[in-house]
Chains A and B, each alone.
Chain A
């Protein structure tokens, strides 16, 4: 019984630390990607985009539309960075194209579970990823060079 308060405090502190660490990890990941060698950046940016896509999905499910749209915007931003660095470095073009394809599939699935009024930004993000994907394919086959 005597230990209840300290244990609660420790648990609370641990939870807060875990939360802070989680937040920091995303920021760290972004910093790491920005500072990485050009050829390593596509994979790191895709990882960030995928992580934010997962967040967007969870936030939409929880009904937090504003936060979900912020996460969705990150998906597009970091996918664009992955696209640009992939083309600049000429590395990981095929893998990035496959990753975009899968993320676009996920976005379409998220969209269909939303009210009609909330679908447009998700569809726009899916379309943007499809466009990036098409552009990567063009580069892979020499048309975009």
Chain B
């Protein structure tokens, strides 16, 4: 029981990161019906850009915290541009193509971005500069650090801001309308192209923030870090009901907690038969069970069959 709280803390932090990335997937899917496989790579580029920019600024003498902030801003801007470019160049021409074509394009772009990152930043693992003092807290036997608290807070704040955007602004309304029915929305005067571009850009910005969080948390970055992270975040989005923002957030946090508890307790649960080497599939098993009872995910709407 003493480690239960610690595992929850671990899971909550990891889950917040998943939630941020999952939002990127779910926004794009909700509006376009497309699984943006390249999103994980956008997150990775966010992390790497932060390292480069912050590193250069620190060497030039800027105080660490300020350099970190500047790095994060640079990452957000670069990722937003990248997201916009992805949509414009790779996905827009395929708006009316068969459903699987943009998927393959996304996979292709994912490969391209990974290899570009490898060529630019090299093959080695890069260390993320640590911006925050190493503060440790202890509460009821659970150990946590300042960065963990910050991650949860920043994620919550960002998600809150997103919800505000989607439910309280005109752009948000336009996005919701496009998600429901693009044809009618355009008849109502919504500029579909702009809305879709906005979804990509905002999603990428969230991804950049997530990337910075990941970098600050684990303090390493590598050109291949985006793939697994993207995959898990996508799983989280599906768990919550893809296309649903609240679902993505909940799905992300749930997934993080499930993974942490799974890795920690799977041995005890199965009497030693399965151990933590099966931790990766624990999340998938939970997903499958959930989907068997709720085929559209936790918050997903039972929308009609799309061909």
User: Do A and B make up one complex?
Assistant: no
Q: Interface residues, chain B, CB within 8 Å of chain A?
A: none
